[in-house]
């Protein structure tokens, strides 16, 4: 059977993770080419035994050998690259978010629907074994009717200022994962959003973004959700969730590299949490690409696609508006 030939656009932080996973875990595919505007990335091609490196992403898309594309470039380039790839009949996995604006995300939806290509968005947390277990517990009725969802999502360090400038801001870049996770756990549509925040970091403040936020969501079915974010957590990457229901509670605590702990007269010492997304979500990144590849092989539709991308960007834009205008925003305002 002919191997599926995959091309990757952008091999920075996340692109390298996918490159590594594709080359180590999937025998049914080959990596045909890489594209990056940074010529220094050509060395990665050689390191991974990939023959083709394109500085222009269009040349990668136009390469007839390429069947499917992973888009891992900065967010502000995604919609243009998705549209160009879709028009050339390539199946697409795109990192979150699809675009910074709802208009362009909707344009992408139209084109994808017209072309019938396969499209998946990288909401990797849906594929994390722990989050999947929590979702299973909810669905099996073990905690009864869900009433409250609490999400803590704090990064150990902010990304570069250059990254932040093109990211769309905290809600669109970072909280978007939590918005998607909340929708996934609540299994319903958000009705209203309220967000407040602050910029503790001077440089982040100077570029007009914030690094600390609290958001509350109210779903149509009455579930309420609280999300707290920080770009700078002194004790490391903090990813937690708590689901409170009519019959009990379930959730995830911080994931540590080690399980050893020390308790003595001086206090309690436990290991730091996993250092960042690369280690914390290691298995989730493998699982999400596995789903994408399986969908290509079996002609199935990925479980997380453009509709989830639209819902999450609407919530993120509502959160941004709520923060800017300091008021509760109804999701229907963002249509
Ligand atoms: N799912 C996740 O956990 C996760 C984590 C980090 C980033 N992301 C998303 O992935 C995307 C990339 O983020 P990152 O942190 O890897 O950024 P990055 O800046 O580390 O990497 C981006 C790469 O794209 C390259 N690039 C820029 N313009 C290009 C072009 N026109 N054609 C080809 N390559 C180009 C850059 O040279 C760089 O190598 C963003 O959309 C971000 O939101 C997702």
* Mean per-residue pLDDT pooled into runs of 10, the chain (335 residues): 92 96 92 97 94 97 98 95 97 96 95 94 96 96 97 96 93 97 97 98 97 98 98 93 97 77 85 81 96 95 96 98 98 95
CA-nearest of 311, 12, 296 to 178 is 311
Question: What pLDDT does residue 2 have?
Answer: 78
Q: Which of 74, 174, 179 to mutate to test the pocket of ligand 1 (most atoms within 8 A of CB)?
A: 74
CB under 8 A, 24+ apart: contacts of 128-134: 128/281, 128/283, 128/284, 128/287, 129/283, 129/284, 129/287, 130/252, 130/255, 131/181, 131/184, 131/241, 131/252, 131/284, 134/185, 134/241, 134/243, 134/250, 134/251, 134/252
Question: What pLDDT does residue 27 have?
Answer: 87
Ligand 1 lining (C-beta closer than 6 Å): 9-15, 35-38, 41, 57, 72-75, 77, 95-96, 122, 124, 163, 173, 277
Question: What pLDDT does residue 166 have?
Answer: 86
- What digits encode the pLDDT tens for the residues 262-300? 888 888 888 777 778 888 999 999 999 999 999 999 999
Question: What pLDDT does residue 168 have?
Answer: 93
CATH superfamily for 4-117 is NAD(P)-binding Rossmann-like Domain (3.40.50.720)
Atom of ligand 1 minimally distant from the CA of 167: 43
Question: What pLDDT does residue 270 have?
Answer: 81
Considering the chain, tell me which residue range(s) the CATH 3.30.360.10 domain(s) occupy. 127-283+312-333
Considering the chain, tell me which residue range(s) the CATH 3.40.50.720 domain(s) occupy. 4-117
Take atom 6 of ligand 1 and give the residue whose Cα is closest. 14
Q: Tell me the CATH number for domain 127-283+312-333.
A: 3.30.360.10
CA-nearest of 221, 40, 252 to 151 is 252
Take atom 7 of ligand 1 and give the residue whose Cα is closest. 14
Q: Ligand 1 centre from 142 Cα, in Å? A: 39
Beta-carbon neighbour count of residue 218 at 10 Å? Answer: 18
Take atom 30 of ligand 1 and give the residue whose Cα is closest. 37
User: Please, what is the end-to-end C-alpha distance for the chain in angstroms?
Assistant: 45
100 φ, ψ (degrees, to nearest 5): -80, -20
Count CA within 13 A, CB hemisphere, residue 183. Answer: 23
- What digits encode the pLDDT tens for the residues 95-142? 999 999 999 999 999 999 999 899 999 999 999 999 999 999 999 999
Q: Ligand 1 centre from 70 Cα, in Å? A: 11
Q: Ligand 1 centre from 254 Cα, in Å? A: 26
CA distance 128 to 147: 23
Q: Does the predicted model carry a pTM greater than 0.75?
A: yes
Question: What pLDDT does residue 256 have?
Answer: 72
């Amino acid at each position: 059977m002919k191997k599926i030939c995959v091309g990757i656009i952008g091999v920075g932080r996340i692109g390298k993770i996918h490159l590594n996973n594709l080359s180590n875990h999937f025998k049914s595919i080959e990596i045909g080419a890489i594209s990056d505007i940074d010529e220094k990335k050509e060395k990665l091609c050689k390191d991974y035994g990939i023959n083709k490196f394109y500085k222009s992403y269009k040349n990668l898309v136009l390469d007839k050998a390429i069947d499917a594309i992973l888009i891992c470039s900065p967010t502000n380039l995604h919609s243009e690259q998705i549209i160009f790839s879709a028009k050339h009949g390539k199946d697409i996995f795109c990192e979150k978010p699809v675009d910074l604006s709802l208009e362009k995300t909707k344009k992408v939806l139209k084109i994808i629907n017209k072309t019938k290509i396969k499209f998946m968005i990288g909401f990797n947390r849906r594929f994390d074994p722990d989050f999947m277990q929590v979702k299973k517990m909810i669905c099996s009725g073990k905690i009864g009717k869900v009433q409250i969802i609490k999400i803590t999502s704090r990064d150990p360090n902010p990304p570069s200022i250059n990254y932040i400038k093109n990211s769309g801001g905290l809600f669109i870049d970072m909280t978007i994962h939590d918005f998607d996770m909340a929708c996934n756990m609540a299994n319903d549509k958000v009705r209203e959003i309220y967000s407040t925040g602050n910029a503790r970091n001077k440089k982040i403040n100077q570029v007009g973004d914030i690094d600390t936020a609290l958001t509350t969501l109210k779903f149509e079915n009455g579930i309420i959700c609280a999300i707290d974010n920080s770009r700078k957590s002194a004790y490391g990457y903090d990813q937690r969730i708590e689901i409170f229901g009519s019959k009990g509670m379930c959730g995830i605590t911080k994931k540590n590299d080690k399980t050893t702990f020390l308790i003595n007269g001086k206090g309690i010492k436990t290991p730091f949490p996993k250092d960042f997304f690369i280690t914390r979500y290691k298995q989730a990144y493998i699982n999400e690409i596995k789903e994408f590849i399986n969908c290509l092989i079996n002609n199935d539709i990925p479980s997380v696609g453009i509709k989830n991308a639209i819902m999450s960007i609407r919530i993120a834009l509502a959160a941004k508006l709520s923060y800017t205008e300091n008021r509760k925003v109804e999701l229907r305002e963002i249509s």
